[in-house]
């Protein structure tokens, strides 16, 4: 039973690849558009769909009325198949994107990524016009990779996250016509002020 103030999570299976493998995912329903696809950190970063920031994003957009889908890449958690890198991670994201679009009955979606998942998000947006907006949380990317974007961009970083030079990141986001949200008193993992990340994304 779902009580007032709670959000119903549903498990879902995502077919991927030509070998019949499936990835595990979690869906939140919502009536608004666009749906949000949440990309976890890459497997080599120890990332999965239960990452605390991924869960916060899902709950924040659910509170705002938007559907979401987050998932585990192949070889992570209960997802079948072997762990991949590079193009294999993009293939995983493409499979999840198809399910998210089908579930919501729309032709476009927004994509949020965590850490190195930003590289997957950028590749996904480059390949698919259906990606109508990007939210990169604590991205581990070359800032120059952001300036070519042709969709709305939001970058969320902790004030204490020094992995990417702040001035270069701010300049790249501005050149892309995007917004940079800096969360005070927070690092790359947002052990502090995590709810602010969800509010900014929603």
Contact status, residue 15 vs residue 71, Cβ threshold 8 Å: no
Q: Is residue 2 part of a domain?
A: no
Q: The domain containing residue 75 runs over which residues?
A: 9-201
Angle between helices 52-63 and 194-201 (to 10 degrees): 50
Residue 2 has pLDDT above 50, yes or no: no
Residue 83 lies in a domain: yes
Residues ≥6 apart with Cβ < 8 Å to 32: 64, 65, 66, 67
pLDDT tens digits along 118-161: 999 999 999 999 999 999 999 999 999 999 898 999 999 999 99
Residue 45 lies in a domain: yes
From residue 7, give the alpha-carbon distance in Å to each of 90, 103, 155: 29, 17, 26
What's the chain's length in residues?
202
Average pLDDT score over residue span 11-19? 89
1 domain residue, yes or no? no
In-domain check, residue 71: yes
Q: Would you say 10 and 27 are in contact if contact means Cβ atoms under 8 Å apart?
A: yes
Q: Is residue 101 part of a domain?
A: yes
Residue 13 β-bridge partners: 24
Q: What is the number of structural domains in the chain?
A: 1
CATH code of 35's domain: 3.40.50.1820
What pTM value is reported for the model? 0.94
Q: Examine residue 4 and state whether it is found in any structural domain, yes or no.
A: no
Question: What's the confidence (pLDDT) of residue 20?
Answer: 84
* Residue at 115 is within a domain: yes
**pLDDT digit string (tens) for 57-85?**
999 999 999 999 999 999 999 999 999 99
């Amino acid at each position: 039973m779902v009580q007032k103030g709670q959000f119903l999570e549903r498990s879902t299976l995502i077919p991927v690849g030509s070998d019949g493998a499936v990835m595990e995912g979690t869906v939140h329903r919502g009536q608004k558009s666009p749906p949000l696809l949440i990309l976890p950190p890459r497997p080599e970063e120890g990332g999965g769909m239960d990452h605390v920031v991924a869960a916060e994003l899902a709950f924040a957009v659910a509170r705002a009325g938007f559907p979401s889908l987050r998932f585990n890449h192949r070889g992570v958690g209960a997802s079948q198949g072997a762990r991949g890198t590079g193009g294999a991670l993009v293939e995983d994201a493409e499979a999840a994107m198809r399910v998210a679009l089908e579930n919501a009955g729309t032709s476009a979606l927004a994509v949020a990524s965590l850490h190195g998942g930003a590289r997957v998000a950028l590749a996904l947006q480059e390949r698919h016009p259906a990606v109508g907006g990007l939210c990169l949380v604590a991205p581990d990317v070359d800032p120059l990779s952001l300036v070519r974007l042709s969709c709305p961009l939001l970058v969320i970083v902790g004030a204490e996250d020094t992995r990417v030079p702040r001035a270069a990141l701010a300049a790249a986001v501005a050149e892309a016509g995007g917004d940079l949200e800096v969360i005070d008193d927070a690092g790359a993992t947002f052990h502090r002020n995590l709810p602010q990340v969800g509010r900014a994304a929603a």
